[in-house]
Amino acid sequence: MSDSTTQKYAIGIDLGGTSTKFGIVDKDGNIIEQDRIPTSSEKPINYFIDELYAKLQPMIDKAGGKEVFIGIGMGAPNGNVYTGNIEYAANLHWKGIVPIAHLVTEKFGIRCSLTNDANAAAMGEMMYGAAKGMKHFITITLGTGVGSGIVIDGKMVVGYDGFAGELGHTIVRHNGRLHKLTGSRGCLEVYASATGVRETAIEFLESNPSTLSLLRNYKEEELTSETVYECAQKGDEIAKNVFDFTGQILGEALANFVMFSSPQAIILFGGLTKSGSFLMNPTKEAMEKNLYQVFKNKVQLVFSNLKESDAAILGASALVL
């Protein structure tokens, strides 16, 4: 019954550590309708699928029923494009292997394809964002964690087993800060995420007890990357040092990524990019400083111009569109 003329929509789902955003997308990349639910991964996966269904099914009905849908594309942490499973995701409570594409397909009666959440966002950037027309780029999500999507020759790099592009887990400081969820030490994610900026602020306040700082007006639980940004804007030295330190580590890591795949651009997105030049300037400086001669002053380092949730929903929908 259904064919390419009646199938005019896709569903894009961005399953994140905290919330899951989803939307109905047409063939031109317009998000017709969107919503979100908490990811609630502390409850069984079927509970989550039921919640998603309760919100999405009315949207599907309104659009004309499942017959008008080409498919469901989903991005999720550790989502494996080959198997359709979420496998050992550190930021989710569901343990081990979760056959989420299969479960969604069964529940909705619409075929679901899965990929890594950061890869979905990179596809969104390539189709509709800062990487439009580019064939070699890397996207780095600076959010609660650090994710990444790598495009080489116009194709997502998924690697031998589908898990390529876990750059947030690369080690940037030998024996450095502990990652409480993975047990590793000194990975990029513990420094260059919103969580990392908060931790750095706490460390800097503790190790400089006699230095005045606006950050001391906050209780420890109130310190976030946003409050650090606000204090930096007011000229606070410790707050600015926090971003200098974060940018130094991020830039060094980006230099290493450039020397791997020689991209035309690196696109940063996620909550931490709201810190603007406080983060961008030291990052760019450290990246250039650590690049081998042949790469210097060639790579564009830019913030994404897509709304974060849009990039991920659009990218996920592009899996099936």
Interacting residues with its own copies (CB under 8 A) = 78, 87-88, 90, 135-136, 150, 152-153, 155, 157-167, 169-174, 182, 184, 252, 255-257, 259-264, 290, 292-295, 298
* Of residues 172 and 201, the one with the C-beta less far from its own copies: 172
Q: Specify the residue, 25 or 190, whose C-beta has the smaller distance to its own copies.
A: 190
Alpha-carbon gap, residue 312 to 14, rounded angstroms: 6
Q: Are 161 and 150 in contact (CB under 8 A)?
A: no
Residue number with CB closer to its own copies (36 or 185): 185
Q: Give the CA angle between residues 44, 47, 51 to the nearest 5°.
A: 145
Other C-beta atoms closer than 10 Å to the C-beta of 254 total 28
Q: In degrees, to the nearest 5, what angle opens at C-alpha 265 toward C-alphas 187 and 114?
A: 65
Q: Are 145 and 189 in contact (CB under 8 A)?
A: yes
Smallest gap, in angstroms, from Cβ of residue 221 to its own copies?
Answer: 29
Pick 249 or 316: Cβ nearer its own copies: 249
Instruction: Answer yes or no: are the C-beta atoms of 148 and 141 closer than 8 Å.
Output: yes
Report the nearest approach of its own copies to the CB of residue 109 (Å).
30
Helix (H, G, I), strand (E, B) or coil at 178: strand
Rounded CA-CA distance 129/311 in Å is 8
Which two structure tokens, joined as six digits, stand for 165?
Answer: 């592009």
Least Cβ distance, residue 159 to its own copies (angstroms): 2
Instruction: Give yes or no for a contact between 96 and 292, defined as CB atoms under 8 angstroms apart.
Output: no
Q: CB 138 → its own copies: shortest distance, Å?
A: 9
Between 57 and 256, whose beta carbon lies closer to its own copies?
256
User: Cβ of residue 202: shortest distance to its own copies, in angstroms?
Assistant: 21
Tell me the closest approach of the beta carbon of residue 167 to its own copies, in angstroms. Answer: 7
- Reduce the DSSP state of residue 29 to 3 states and report it: coil
- Of residues 70 and 266, the one with the C-beta less far from its own copies: 266
